[in-house]
Amino acid sequence: MDGFSSPAPTRSAFAGAVEALYRQYDSWLRGVLRKRYGDQADDLVHETYLRAAAQAANGEVRHHRAFLLSIAENLARDRARRLIREEKRQVNAEAFTLQSTAAPQEHAVTLKQIVLALPPELRDVFLLTHIQGLSYREVAVLRNIPERTVKDRMRRALAKTSAAMRD
């Protein structure tokens, strides 16, 4: 044991704590949460009792109402954040789907033209690393040039490629 957390209550102590919290605070907590969160109140109340029961069973709670309300508000905030993240993911997924189905062949053709327009030494390094999948060290050995030269050529090739793709 780390000295910071109490041992977990037994199953019966946990169930008793949930029951005691429900009997003593349910009408108050449900009323407050209905005013603040409407339809979400019932779910929040249920989850709040489950989260608070372990501490209540161990006798670690002094101010039950404040404790229950802070748990419920944190749960509501977490739900709101989760919904926002899900909506953003969905919007991004829809945008990605629209973008990726719009013109993937055009992008491939454009990238091919840009790579072919690179100076030969940059194009060679770019193709060996990105298409053939060789490491910088392998390219350096294959072309008999220093690895630092490979890195520099790759940096310049990527800069030219990304600048051309933006245009």
pTM higher than 0.85 for the full model? no
Kindly report the average pLDDT of the chain as a whole number. Answer: 84
**Structural domain includes residue 64:** yes
**Structural domain includes residue 2:** no
140 with 85, same domain?
no
48 with 121, same domain?
no
65 with 90, same domain?
yes
CA distance 123 to 15: 69
Q: Of the candidates 73, 100, 127, which is a domain's last residue?
A: 100
Q: What is the pLDDT of residue 12?
A: 82
Could you tell me what percentage of the chain is helix, strand and coil, using 3-state DSSP and rounding each to the nearest 5?
85, 0, 15
Q: What is the CATH number of the domain that holds 157?
A: 1.10.10.10
**Structural domain includes residue 1:** no
95 with 107, same domain?
no
Q: Tell me the pLDDT tens digit for each residue of 51-106.
A: 888 888 778 888 989 989 999 999 999 998 998 888 888 877 766 655 555 566 77
Inter-residue contact 72 to 48 (CB < 8 Å): yes
- pLDDT-derived band at 1, boundaries 50, 70, 90: very low
157 with 122, same domain?
yes
Q: Of the candidates 54, 72, 100, which is a domain's last residue?
A: 100
Pull the structure tokens for residue 112: 């091919």
Q: What is the pLDDT of residue 17?
A: 84
For residue 164, pLDDT beyond 60: yes
Q: What is the pLDDT of residue 132?
A: 85
